[in-house]
Amino acid sequence: MVSEYLLRSEGISKFFPGVKALSNVSFTLKQGEIHSIMGENGAGKSTLIKVFTGVHKMDEGSIFFKEEQIDLDSPQSAQNKGISAVFQEVNLCENLSVAENIFIGREPKKNGRINWKEIKKRAEQLLLTRLNIKIDVSKVLSSYSTAIQQMIAIARAVDMSSGVLILDEPTSSLDKNEVKQLFKVMKSLKEEGMGIIFVSHFLEQVYEISDRITVLRNGQYIGDYVTNQLPRKDLVSNMIGREWDENSNHKEKQFKNLKSSELLLSGTNLARKGSINPLNIEMRKGEVLGLAGLLGSGRTELAKVIFGIDKPDQGVLYLNNEKIGSLNPKSSIERGVSFCPEDRKVEGIINDLTIRENIILGLQTKKGLLKYIPMKEQERIANKYIKLLRIKTPSIEQSIDNLSGGNQQKVILARWLATNPTLLILDEPTRGIDVGSKQEIRQLIFDLAKEGITILFISAELEETVACCDRVIVLRDRQKIGELQGEDMTESKIMDMIAKGDEIDETIPS
């Protein structure tokens, strides 16, 4: 009997210190199918892929390759089994030739010496027959476009694979035509009987190419669906909808009347190539505005443009009716705009520094290099916020590295609160922290809004967005596709908007 599944895994769990990255995840891949894995940031997509490619060793569970149990303990062992992957960033050597890149580490030899002729011939053949592209393989890799480089990476992976190919976000740096080309190649590989695991956060693409979809959320396996039987809305709901297992105490929401409130910020035609398409945004004083959308929809990108980390290519931004000329983080902080970034480890904490130093850093940049905050004052500020946010630490001179994720997040929040912002941008402030801290931070958002601070709120959890915000802007594929407020602002309506295809765009008022 020919086994139905090329790759089958059961009950995979992976623990990192303090986090359960995957818990009891199962996944199957048939021969000749394209199977997408969907999920938000931190859902466990990359961890699962890293388990399949032997980068991470799983803590529990078993993997079967053609119904034979296999042990993946190193990238080498995965390669030997014939599971190969192409990652988001092309993992090739720019200064080597195409042919060398394809055969690096497994060069055909003749009398103990590398057979260059053979390499060239086989590389040409491979690209032509499997991927249908004809290029000069003796040119260096960097002379080709990203799309071609991606194809070359795929060619290498295909050549090494014996049936399983993993593509992790292969389309994120490609334009529409290049994506089409890639999909053609994927389809022909599928015809040949390969099993392809496809990871992407573009809904359209997933629906266009894949046969089945597996959804993960917070490291949990949510389900495995046949693509054309899964309505988009259900997919979105599976990814970011309410978590039913978490009994959240919903407060009766009161809608503020903000129509009369003054305009704090307005942006027209804001755009940045590769991150957001031209859009308008307005915020009134004291408002909590949510940005909803999937990963890569432009929600974080828009926030970065408003704060000035990324400069807009076009458009104008007004703050308090004043046109903003040069946009950069320092001047933004001076104007009272604060940005609590999404990736705490990379963009937030500074490991070497103490909690006190991490807290006063934002305020210090606001004051400038020469007006150093006196030590007494620093201690007072640090202690104030440790008390206010209930940060659990024995001392303010403790290195921030020693804190748990939730407490680190609170320190970063403290950094921004200390700058006395009028506009506070919170990008996934509750991501990756324990439930208790989550509740506390949500409560804090309510309290801050009550005090009159304007908040731009981004979260991957729709329930949280709906609970915290007065109004929501919905984004998809780097575009603003609508706005909801008041009674209209429900999880279901937001998901409807996100899930709808391009064709319905015009009917949505913006």
Q: Which residues bind other proteins (CB under 8 A)?
A: 309, 328-330, 332-333, 339, 341, 346-353, 357, 360-362, 364-373, 415
Q: 1 or 369: whose CB is closer to other proteins?
A: 369
Token code pair at residue 509: 């008022």
Q: 351 or 420: whose CB is closer to other proteins?
A: 351
Query: Residues with Cβ < 8 Å from 182, sequence gap 6 or more?
Result: 147, 150, 151, 154, 170, 171, 174
Q: 259 or 371: whose CB is closer to other proteins?
A: 371
Token code pair at residue 377: 């004052």
Query: In whole angstroms, how close is the CB of 407 to other proteins at the nearest point?
Result: 17
Please state, in angstroms and rounded to a whole number, the distance separating the CA atoms of residues 71 and 202. Answer: 32
The 3-class secondary structure across 320-378, one letter per residue, is CCEECCCCCHHHHHHCCEEEECCCHHHHHCCCCCEHHHHHHHHHHHHHCCCCCCCHHHH
What burial letters (b/e) apply to 122-158, b meaning 16+ CB within 10 Å?
A: bbbebbeebbeeebebeeebeebeebbbbbbbbbbbb
Query: In whole angstroms, how close is the CB of 457 to other proteins at the nearest point?
Result: 17
Query: In whole angstroms, how close is the CB of 473 to other proteins at the nearest point?
Result: 22
Residue 105 CB burial class (10 angstroms; 0-12, 13-18, ≥19):
exposed
Q: 28 or 419: whose CB is closer to other proteins?
A: 419
The residues with which 425 forms a beta bridge, in sequence order, are: 339, 456
Report which of 53, 459, 156 is spatially closest to residue 45, judged by C-alpha positions: 53
Query: In whole angstroms, how close is the CB of 377 to other proteins at the nearest point?
Result: 13
Say if CB 189 and CB 177 are below 8 A apart.
no
Query: In whole angstroms, how close is the CB of 178 to other proteins at the nearest point?
Result: 29
Query: In whole angstroms, how close is the CB of 311 to other proteins at the nearest point?
Result: 13
Query: In whole angstroms, how close is the CB of 436 to other proteins at the nearest point?
Result: 25
Query: In whole angstroms, how close is the CB of 125 to other proteins at the nearest point?
Result: 40
Residue at 221: amino acid letter: Y
Please state, in angstroms and rounded to a whole number, the distance separating the CA atoms of residues 219 and 25. Answer: 8
Q: 1 or 346: whose CB is closer to other proteins?
A: 346
Q: 208 or 352: whose CB is closer to other proteins?
A: 352
Token code pair at residue 144: 């080709």
Q: 332 or 409: whose CB is closer to other proteins?
A: 332
Q: 415 or 478: whose CB is closer to other proteins?
A: 415
Say if CB 329 and CB 313 are below 8 A apart.
no
Query: In whole angstroms, how close is the CB of 201 to other proteins at the nearest point?
Result: 22
Query: In whole angstroms, how close is the CB of 362 to other proteins at the nearest point?
Result: 5
Q: 151 or 418: whose CB is closer to other proteins?
A: 418
Q: 267 or 348: whose CB is closer to other proteins?
A: 348
Please state, in angstroms and rounded to a whole number, the distance separating the CA atoms of residues 463 and 444. Answer: 17
**What are the backbone angles phi and psi of residue 162, rounded to the nearest 5°?**
-120, 55
Report which of 214, 211, 239 is spatially closest to residue 297, judged by C-alpha positions: 239
Please state, in angstroms and rounded to a whole number, the distance separating the CA atoms of residues 472 and 451. Answer: 20
**What are the backbone angles phi and psi of residue 421, rounded to the nearest 5°?**
-75, 150
Q: 195 or 341: whose CB is closer to other proteins?
A: 341
- Please give the full DSSP string across 92-108, using - where no structure is assigned: S-TTSBHHHHHHTTS--
Q: 136 or 352: whose CB is closer to other proteins?
A: 352
Query: In whole angstroms, how close is the CB of 435 to other proteins at the nearest point?
Result: 26
Query: In whole angstroms, how close is the CB of 143 to other proteins at the nearest point?
Result: 23
